[in-house]
Structure 1
Amino acid sequence: MKQTLRYEQLSCRLQVDGLPDVSAGQSGDALGIITGWSLRWMGRPELEGRKEHLIALMEVVLPYARHLLSGVERRFGQEDSPVEIGPRPAGGHSLLLRSSQPGTPPLEVVLDDAELADLVRVLDQLRLDARLQLPLDLPQPRPLRPREMQERVPRRQRLAAPVGGALVLVLAAGLGLLLPEPRPLPAPSPSSPAAGQDRP
C-alpha cells in the first residue's frame, strides 16, 4: 500500500512517497521504502528525485544550518556531489542542485534566511517522523572543531590582546629606561679591628 508523508511550511512543501517494508514486519502506516519525493517552492521549479538525492540534500543543508547558528559560514558539498550549499557574497544562500541526467545543467536556487529555515524545518520533520522507518545514513551532529570556533572571531579581534600586551610591555620598558639611575650609597669608612680598644 502506497504511503505519502507531507511536511509544509510557508515557502515550501516536502512530499515523500514510499511503501512499508513488509519483509521487516512494518505496519501499513509506516514508510520503509522511499520510491520518490518532491519539494515544491513558491515561485520556483519543483524538485524531485530518488532516495539518494533526498539524503544528499539532508547531508548538506542540515549541517550548513547548524554552522550558521554557531556563527560559522562555510560551504557544504563537493563539486561532484548532487547538492551543494553555501553563503552568497550578496547575502542569502545558494543551493546548487546537479541532475544525474547527462546534459542537464545544474540548477541554482537562491534562498533567503526565512526560506532556508523553512527547508530545514521540513527536513527535520521528515528525519524525526516515527512513520519513516528506514535508516537515512546521515552523519551524526558533531561539535565544531576548535579551529572553526577560532575562525568565528575576526582576525583583528583575535590579534588585539597579544598586540596590546606587547605594546604595554614595550611602554613599560621604555619608561624604565627614562628613569634616572639611583645614586650609589657612600661606602663605609674602613676601621681597624682594634678600634675603640685602649692601648696597653
Structure 2
Amino acid sequence: MKQILQFDQLSCRLKVEGLPDVSVGQSGAALGIITGWSLQWAGRPELEGRKEHLLALMQVVLPYARYLISGVPRRFGAEPQPVEIGPAPEGGHSLLLRSSQPDTPPLQLALDDAELADLVRVLDQLRLDSRLQLPLELPAPVPLRARELLERRPLAQRLAAPLGGLLALALASGLGLLIPEPKPAAAPGRPESSQPARGATPSP
C-alpha cells in the first residue's frame, strides 16, 4: 500500500512517497522503498525527483549546515553531483540543482538563513522518522580538523599576534639606536689633566 510522509515548515513542505519493502517483511505504515518525492517552496518552483536526488540533497545540505554552525562555511557538492550548496557572494546561501535530463539548465536558488533552517529541519525530520525504514547513505559526522578549527578565526586575528611581536621588536631596536654610547674611561696612571693642552707652548 502506498505511503506518504509529509513534513512541514514555514517556508517549505517535503513530501516523500513510497511502499513497504515486503521482501524484508515490512508492512503497515513502514516506508522501505522511495518511489518519488517533492519539495514545495513558498514562491518558488516545486522540486521533485527520485530517491538518488533526495539522497544527494541530504548529503550536501546537512553537512553544510553543520559546518556553518561551527563557523567554517564551505561549499559542498561539485559537478557532476546533482546538488551543490555554498555561501553566496552577496550573502545568504546558493543552492544549485543539476537536472539529469539533457538540455535542461541547472536551477539556482538563493536561500536566506530562515529558509535554509527550514530545509534542514524537514530533512532531519525525514531522517529521524521511524516510519522510514531504509538505509540512508549519509556521511557520518566527524570532528573538525585542526586546520578547519584554525580557519574559524579571521586572518586578521591570526596575524595580529606575530605582527604585533615584530612591531615591538622593531620599536625596541629603534629606541636602542637612539641611546648615546658611553664615553671610554681614561687609562690608569695617566690623568687627563697631566696631558698638555693642544696648541700650548711648552716651558723651557
Cα displacement string for residues 74-93 of structure 1 (whole angstroms, at most 9, x for unaligned residues): 21111211001111111221
The 10-residue stretch of structure 1 (3-12 or 168-177) with the greater mean CA deviation from structure 2: 168-177
SS in 2 for 1:159: helix
1:74 aligns with 2:35: no
Query: Shift in Å at residue 35 of structure 1?
Result: 0.7
Please give the alpha-carbon distance, in whole angstroms, between the structure 1 residues aligned to 2:23 and 2:187: 105
One-letter identity of the residue aligned with 1:105: P
What residue in structure 2 maps to residue 160 of structure 1?
160
Query: Shift in Å at residue 24 of structure 1?
Result: 1.4
What residue in structure 2 maps to residue 109 of structure 1?
109
Please give the alpha-carbon distance, in whole angstroms, between the structure 2 residues aligned to 1:147 and 1:20: 44
* CA gap 1:5/1:184 in 2 versus in 1, 3 angstroms: same
What residue in structure 2 maps to residue 195 of structure 1?
none
One-letter identity of the residue aligned with 1:70: S
What residue in structure 2 maps to residue 12 of structure 1?
12
Please give the alpha-carbon distance, in whole angstroms, between the structure 2 residues aligned to 1:116 and 1:144: 22
SS in 1 for 2:4: strand
What residue in structure 2 maps to residue 55 of structure 1?
55
What residue in structure 1 maps to residue 193 of structure 2?
none
One-letter identity of the residue aligned with 2:38: S
Please give the alpha-carbon distance, in whole angstroms, between the structure 1 residues aligned to 2:168 and 2:109: 51
**Root mean square deviation, CA, Å:** 1.9
What residue in structure 2 maps to residue 131 of structure 1?
131
Equivalent residue pairs, number: 189
Please give the alpha-carbon distance, in whole angstroms, between the structure 2 residues aligned to 1:2 and 1:20: 8
Please give the alpha-carbon distance, in whole angstroms, between the structure 2 residues aligned to 1:125 and 1:180: 76
Please give the alpha-carbon distance, in whole angstroms, between the structure 2 residues aligned to 1:131 and 1:184: 94
Cα displacement string for residues 90-126 of structure 1 (whole angstroms, at most 9, x for unaligned residues): 1221111111111111111111111110000000000
* CA gap 1:133/1:186 in 2 versus in 1, 3 angstroms: farther
Structure 2 residues without counterparts, runs of 5 or longer: 190-204
Please give the alpha-carbon distance, in whole angstroms, between the structure 1 residues aligned to 2:111 and 2:174: 56
What residue in structure 2 maps to residue 196 of structure 1?
none
Matches within 5 A, 1:161-200: 161-179=161-179
Structure 1 residues without counterparts, runs of 5 or longer: 190-200
Please give the alpha-carbon distance, in whole angstroms, between the structure 1 residues aligned to 2:84 and 2:181: 68
One-letter identity of the residue aligned with 2:89: P
Q: State the percentage of identical aligned residues.
A: 77
TM-score under structure 2 length normalisation = 0.85
Query: Shift in Å at residue 32 of structure 1?
Result: 0.8
